[in-house]
Amino acid sequence: MKVLVADKVSPKGVEYLRQQPGLTVVEAYGSSPEQILSLVDDVHAIVVRSETKITAEVMAAAPLLKAVGRAGVGVDNVDVEAATERGIIVMNTPSGNTIATAELTFTHILCGARPVPQAAGSMRDGKWDRKSFSGIELFRKTLGIVGLGRIGSEVAKRAQAFGMRVVAYDPYLAPSRAKAMQVEGVTLDQLLADSDYITVHMPLTEATQHMIDEAALAKCKKGVRLFNCARGGIIKETALLEALKSGHVAAAGLDVFEDEPLSKESEFRKLPNVNLTPHLGASTAEAQESVGIEIAEQIADVLKGGVIRNAVNMPSLDAATLKVLGPYLDLGQKLGTLVQQMGPQQIASLNITYWGRIIDLDANSVTRAIQRGFLRRISGDSVNYVNAPVSLQRLGIKSHVLKSTDEVDYTELVSVEAVAADGSIYGAKGTLIGKTGKPRIVEINNREVEVEAMGKLLVIENHDQPGMIGYVGTLLGKDGVNIANMSLSRNEPGQTALMVINLDSEPSPAARAELKSHQAIKLAKFVQL
Residues noted as catalytic: 231, 260, 279
Helix residue ranges per DSSP H, 170-258: 175-180, 188-194, 214-218, 237-246
Look up residue 408 and give its amino acid. V
CA 315 to CA 89: how far, in whole Å? 9
Do residues 479 and 511 touch, judged by C-beta distance below 8 A?
yes
Question: What is the separation, in whole angstroms, between the first and last Cα of the chain?
Answer: 35
- Neighbouring residues of 71: CB distance < 8 A, sequence distance ≥ 6: 7, 9, 10, 13, 47, 48, 49, 93, 96, 288, 291, 292, 294, 295
> Nearest-CA neighbor of 147 among 195, 199, 106?
199
Phi, psi of 59 (to 5 degrees): -65, -40
Phi, psi of 20 (to 5 degrees): -80, 125
> Nearest-CA neighbor of 61 among 31, 28, 94, 36?
36
- Neighbouring residues of 338: CB distance < 8 A, sequence distance ≥ 6: 373, 416, 428, 441, 444, 453, 457, 527, 529
Bond into 278 cis (ω within 30): no
CA 435 to CA 440: how far, in whole Å? 13
DSSP state of 85: H
Q: How far is CA 475 from CA 455, 462, 519, in A?
A: 20, 15, 15
Q: How many residues does the chain have?
A: 529
- The dihedral over CA atoms of 154, 156, 161, 162, expressed in degrees to the nearest 10, equals 120
Do residues 47 and 26 touch, judged by C-beta distance below 8 A?
no
CA 121 to CA 126: how far, in whole Å? 9
